[in-house]
Amino acid sequence: MTGPRTLFDKIWDAHEAVPAGPDHPAVIYVDTHLIHEVTSPQAFALLGERGLPVRRPDRTWATVDHSIPTRFVEGRPAFLNRATRNQVATLERNCEAHGIPIFRMGDPGQGIVHVIGPELGLTQPGRTIVCGDSHTSTHGAFGAWAFGIGTTEVAQVLATQCLLQERPRTLSIEVSGTLAPGVSAKDLILGIIRRFGVDAGRGYVIEYRGGAVEALGMEARMTLCNMSIEAGARAGLVAPDETTFEYLEGRENVPSGEGFRDLVAGWRKLPSDEGAVFDRSLSFDAGSIEPMVTWGTNPAMSCGVSEAVPAPSDPEERAALEYMGLEAGRPLLGRPADVVFIGSCTNARISDLRAAARVLAGRKTNPRTRLLVVPGSAKVRRQAEAEGLDEVFRSAGAEWRAPGCSMCIAMNGDRLSPQELAVSTSNRNFQGRQGPGGRTVLASPVTAAASALAGAVADPRPFLSN
Amino acid sequence: MEPVVRIASRTVVLAADNVDTDQIIPARFLTGTSREGLGASLFADWRRDGAGNLRPEFPLNQPEADGARILVAGANFGCGSSREHAPWALTDYGFAAVVSPSIADIFKGNAVRNGLVPVEIESQAHQRLLSRPGAEIVIAVEAGTVSLPGGGTARFELPPFARRCLLTGRGPLDFLLEQGPAISRYEREMSEVAGRGSSGAADPS
Ligand code: SF4
């Protein structure tokens, strides 16, 4: 391709191992393959059936996160059942057999796959990164093309380090203005999805652009890109800049000294060229939103925390309100919360925990609300403990857990009971996502923390002003 | 994977938009290590009540849905998680095609790789199918057509490669394995460029 190119075009061009032909899509080379216990066993089984080796174990990393417990009883992990324990053991066996590095429970590098990739410096600008998990879009915060794949594709990448890809279209979302105090990247992405809908990004790679995006730190950019999939896009990107380079310098798996300077020189060429054309362009004013909460069963069904829940406009919204036990015309504010969950690959990094701790410091949670704080990785946990955040959480009345996906997904023992309502910093408010019959209100870490104090959906801003 | 050429069947209609993979198969059924038997958990929380009894009003539970191989669904079907357990559950249950005005990207790919035909049709034709649950229709994969109740056909697109995979039962893995030499060449070239500080596929340090 000649002429001005987008960030995505540049990554695509550099990874076409075989260009598309009349009867096949392009063969795209995968730089970094992350795997976990839930979507890999059937892939390894497929390799086994066909007697295939793993082509590049040195480009593959494994962690356990989805089905592991975040609770220990008498020093031993409290697995939900034999099946989850077996899933973890199966991954360990497969990694040993194929020479793939794995972060096991208790390892200093273990954590949610989308939290540890960046931490370890495996997530770098310009790379192609895949994982059998739709929130792989998170890694796009570094200007990497990162997307979720299915298990059969996991097998393809294990065997060939490549995938067949139809070229996605490009969507620019230009975010202008400034986020108001108490409003975070989580609120921003919820606002964007509310405005443009849950399938606005279908078939596209999103590039988030503009002053409001440049102003975000790396962890906030990860939150933004994380939920691209909730807007229907498999991948979201932010152009790499000084913030990105600063984050990466000195990390394990990132070269130092001259090697690093060379890398940065390459990375500087990645941002979309002046005049590059996107297939579609949207714009959004970051200053137009307040802290957001979801009232329904998909992430577009949200409103500002002080707004009234809108009247349902179709049967789906009516069904959602019924499922949530909510009434249109009344704000969510003050609606009792049984559980507050601060965790997940969306919002369990150190900056998220610091933000929550600022709200909780010196205060007590409402006795009717159970507060669960689950760090995204062992590293985040150590850092939080070094800063005394665990003490802040515990003295506020929270449970402080071991790293994992926990109550983001009801498959590891942490889950809601039917009709319980959770204010959650995770990314999906689908029916039953946090437990059959459970009701999820998605929100930012500060909104979640404020809700734990109030025992009900709360506006975080009064807690931040003093 | 078996070749899929033509599907002739009654339809089951699940009209809701945005049916996500957490509904198709809830996460608590994802703890296995094999792909067999997931049909039993298809739409688990919609098909059964809290006590495990079938809900008679749910479309899949109605007598005329028995044996139907075509699911007519609302827009943005299969959004959410990338779990391939979703198409596995659908095919294990007996479905061979999903018809919708729009199907989520990851799901669509996962479907094709498991011989489940993702059929995206324009909304007028879709409306006709929605209003006639149990209609006998025919999906022709090669021609890319769906016969509509009351006459006429609707067209659907499939990328040529996906169509060929369905028709031949040969998946992308076979194709990629044949590309071995080209992939090795790419790896060699890239490690040379990476040595000069490129933004391309750097070898892991
Ligand atoms: S935290 Fe939730 S969304 Fe993220 S990887 Fe785990 S289960 Fe998926």
> Nearest C-alpha of chain A: how many angstroms from B193?
11
pLDDT at A1: 53
User: What is the rounded average pLDDT of the residues A185-213?
Assistant: 97
Q: Which amino acid is at A18?
A: V
Residue B205's pLDDT is 43
Contact between B109 and A232 using a beta-carbon 8 Å cutoff: no
- Return residues 130-189 of B near A (CB < 8 Å): 159-161, 164, 171-173, 175-177, 179-180, 182-183, 186-187
Residue B196: the pLDDT is: 46
For residue B198, pLDDT over 90 is answered with no
What pLDDT shows up at residue A465? 74
Ligand 1 closest atom vs CA A406 = 1
Q: What is the pLDDT of residues A431-466, one digit of tens each?
A: 999 999 999 999 999 999 999 999 999 999 999 975
Average of per-residue pLDDT values in chain A: 97
Contact A150 B109 (CB under 8 A): yes
How many Å apart are CA B118 and CA B13, to the nearest integer?
A: 15
Write out chain A residues lying below 8 Å of B173, CB-based. 46, 50, 152, 155-156, 159-160
Confidence of residue B200 (pLDDT cuts 50, 70, 90): very low
**Cβ(A112) to ligand 1 under 6 A?**
yes
Q: Cβ–Cβ of A202/B176 closer than 8 Å?
A: no
Q: What is the ipTM of this complex?
A: 0.92
What rounded mean pLDDT belongs to chain B? 92
B190 or A461: which leads in pLDDT = A461
Compute the average pLDDT of residues A36-63: 97
What CA–CA distance (Å, rounded) separates A62 from A48?
Answer: 18
pLDDT of residue A2: 76
Mean pLDDT (whole number) for B154-162: 96
pLDDT given at position A307: 97
- For tokens 């909304």, the residue is B123
Q: CB within 8 A of A73, min separation 6: which ones?
A: none
B53/A contact by beta carbon, under 8 A: no
pLDDT tens digits for range A69-121: 999 998 899 999 999 999 999 999 999 999 999 999 999 999 999 999 999 99
Helix ranges, A19-175 (H): 41-50, 82-98, 113-119, 151-160
Angle at B96 between CA B91 and CA B100, to 5 degrees: 110
**For A297-311, A377-391, A396-410, B187-201, which range has the lowest pLDDT when averaged over its residues?**
B187-201
In a 3-state reduction of DSSP, which class is residue A382?
helix
Stated as kind and residue range, the H or E segment containing B100 is strand B97-100
**pLDDT (tens digit per residue) in A374-400:** 999 999 999 999 999 999 999 999 999
For residue A408, the ligand 1 atom closest to its alpha carbon is 2
Residue B194 has pLDDT above 80, yes or no: no
Q: Is A34 in the pocket of ligand 1 (CB under 6 A)?
A: no
Token pair recorded at residue A401: 């857990």
Cβ partners under 8 Å of residue A279, min gap 6: A169, A170, A171, A204
With CB atoms and an 8 Å threshold, state whether A152 touches B187. Answer: no
For strand A145-148 and strand A26-29, is the pairing parallel, antiparallel, or unpaired? unpaired
Q: How far apart are the C-alpha atoms of A437 and A435, rounded to whole Å?
A: 6
* Lookup result for tokens 């369990």: A348
Q: How far apart are CA A369 and CA B100, in angstroms?
A: 41
Per-residue pLDDT, B191? 83
> What are the tens digits of pLDDT across the range B74-117?
999 999 998 999 999 999 999 999 999 999 999 999 999 999 99
Query: Where does the pLDDT of residue B1 fall: very low under 50, low under 70, confident under 90, or very high at 90 and above?
Result: confident
**What is each CA distance from A4 to A128, A268, A282, in whole angstroms?**
21, 15, 20
Q: Which tens digit of pLDDT belongs to each residue from B135-146? A: 999 999 999 999
In the reported structure, the alpha carbon of residue B196 is separated from the centroid of ligand 1 by a whole-number distance in angstroms of 37
The residue whose C-alpha atom lies closest to atom 2 belonging to ligand 1 is A408
Residue A194 sits at φ, ψ, to 5 deg, of: -60, -45
